């Protein structure tokens, strides 16, 4: 993904939040001088504005080792103490270990209090990262009084345009309206970069073939021929347009039908090293060949980036068990596929075709 490819390696590569970065660098320098200003730093602000990237880049700049944990996966006191204990009491020879605790919003009350004691005893610097400082402050005011609090603000449009333009130029992407993408991203650079990877305009002859196939699929008279189309792109077009043509598929809510196939695809990707087998594509093709004629009429469109959606913690809590995913992965999935928020309350195990 482009977010990984263009992930900054140094604090000098970070876009925006120059004041926050300066504070972070001075804090790290105080550790190097063996007179730390505080044992820990608390980075807070909305998603996608560079908090985690800054923490990792800081470690690179100071040649520190890193121990990174995601609190949405390891959230109770026992797990936190077990994972951090060694790094809290021992430092590497001639360097330090930067302990990074990401998504601290998900830590339990017990884990937060255990973390307080660990910070007090730590011989290594600690960075706590949170999207919602107020949720933590409701539990404890320790961090507000004992940690260096650094606010990462949403990136302005000018900064985002510069970053996205450089990426588009480097990747030879043709982006029709970067300003619209920036507006929809609402200061979330990670979200914008994820979508710039998906909205490149395909050649017209490709879209014409895709439109023809999708029309046949939704009309219920497709023969399964994919010789002239990119099937992965065809599937994106189908997913994007299907809710505008169907309410349900053989009694299964259309969002449930799509999400079931996406969950299967995710498992296949995981089990087969990131590749979808020909046999699996034939299964999808068979499912599409058996679709009934569309129930609604609409215009078929090329997938565009989704408008910015604010994913609530309650949405993540509700859907993570259903998706059999960690809360962190559920959050990222919902950001990429917001239509999953519209799943019906009941859980369906009916056949997909």
Closest among 285, 297, 299, 294 to 219, alpha carbons compared: 294
The span from the CA of 244 to the CA of 230, in Å, is 22
Q: pLDDT digits over 251-282, tens only?
A: 777 777 777 777 766 666 555 554 555 556 67
- Assign 311 a pLDDT band (cuts: 50, 70, 90): low
Q: Are 205 and 217 in contact (CB under 8 A)?
A: no
Q: Give 2-151's CATH code, choosing from 3.20.20.140, 3.40.50.300, 3.30.70.20, 3.10.20.30.
A: 3.40.50.300
Q: Are 87 and 67 in contact (CB under 8 A)?
A: yes
Q: pLDDT digits over 329-353, tens only?
A: 777 677 666 666 665 554 433 333 3
Domain ranges for the chain: 2-151, 157-196, 204-303, 316-344
Closest among 2, 47, 42, 49 to 328, alpha carbons compared: 47
- Assign 201 a pLDDT band (cuts: 50, 70, 90): very low
- Assign 74 a pLDDT band (cuts: 50, 70, 90): low
Q: Which residues of 102-124 are buried (b: 16+ CB within 10 A; e: fewer)?
A: bbbbbbeeebbebbeebbeebeb
- Average of per-residue pLDDT across 2-15: 84
SS3 258: helix
Q: What Å distances lie between residue 278 and 236, 284, 287, 353, CA to CA?
A: 17, 10, 14, 18
Q: If you count them, how many residues does the chain have?
A: 353
The span from the CA of 314 to the CA of 227, in Å, is 44
SS3 126: strand
Q: Give residue 298's region: left, alpha or beta (phi > 0; psi -120 to 50).
A: beta
**What are the residues whose beta carbons fall under 8 Å from the beta carbon of 166, sequence distance 6 or more?**
none
The span from the CA of 237 to the CA of 202, in Å, is 12
- Average of per-residue pLDDT across 17-31: 92
How crowded is residue 195: how many other Cβ atoms within 10 Å of its Cβ?
Answer: 22
């Amino acid at each position: 993904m482009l977010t990984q490819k263009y992930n900054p390696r140094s604090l000098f590569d970070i876009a925006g939040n120059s004041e926050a970065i300066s504070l972070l660098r001075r804090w790290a320098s105080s550790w190097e001088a063996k007179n730390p200003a505080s044992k820990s730093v608390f980075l807070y602000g909305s998603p996608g504005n560079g908090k985690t990237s800054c923490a990792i880049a800081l470690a690179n700049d100071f040649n520190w080792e890193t121990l990174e944990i995601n609190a949405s996966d390891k959230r109770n006191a026992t797990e936190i103490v077990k994972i951090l204990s060694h790094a809290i009491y021992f430092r590497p020879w001639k360097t330090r270990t930067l302990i990074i605790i990401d998504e601290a919003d998900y830590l339990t009350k017990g884990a937060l209090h255990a973390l307080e004691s660990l910070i007090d005893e730590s011989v290594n610097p600690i960075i706590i990262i949170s999207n919602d400082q107020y949720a933590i402050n409701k539990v404890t005011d320790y961090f507000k009084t004992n940690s260096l609090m650094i606010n990462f603000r949403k990136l302005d449009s000018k900064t985002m345009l510069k970053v996205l333009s450089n990426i588009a130029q480097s990747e030879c992407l043709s982006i029709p309206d970067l300003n619209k993408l920036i507006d929809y991203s609402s200061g979330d650079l990670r979200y914008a970069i994820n979508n710039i990877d998906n909205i490149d305009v395909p050649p017209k002859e490709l879209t014409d073939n895709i439109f023809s196939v999708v029309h046949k699929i939704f009309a219920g008279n497709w023969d399964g021929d994919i010789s002239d189309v990119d099937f992965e792109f065809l599937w994106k077009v189908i997913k994007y347009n299907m809710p505008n043509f169907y309410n349900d598929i053989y009694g299964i809510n259309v969002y449930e039908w799509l999400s079931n196939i996406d969950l299967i695809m995710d498992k296949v990707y995981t089990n087969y090293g990131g590749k979808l087998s020909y046999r699996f594509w034939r299964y999808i093709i068979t499912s599409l060949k058996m679709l009934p004629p569309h129930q609604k009429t609409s215009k078929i469109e090329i997938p565009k980036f989704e408008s910015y959606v604010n994913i609530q913690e309650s949405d993540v809590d509700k859907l993570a068990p259903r998706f059999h995913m960690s809360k962190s992965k559920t959050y990222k999935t919902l950001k990429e596929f917001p239509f999953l928020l519209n799943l019906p309350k009941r859980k369906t195990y009916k056949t997909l075709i």
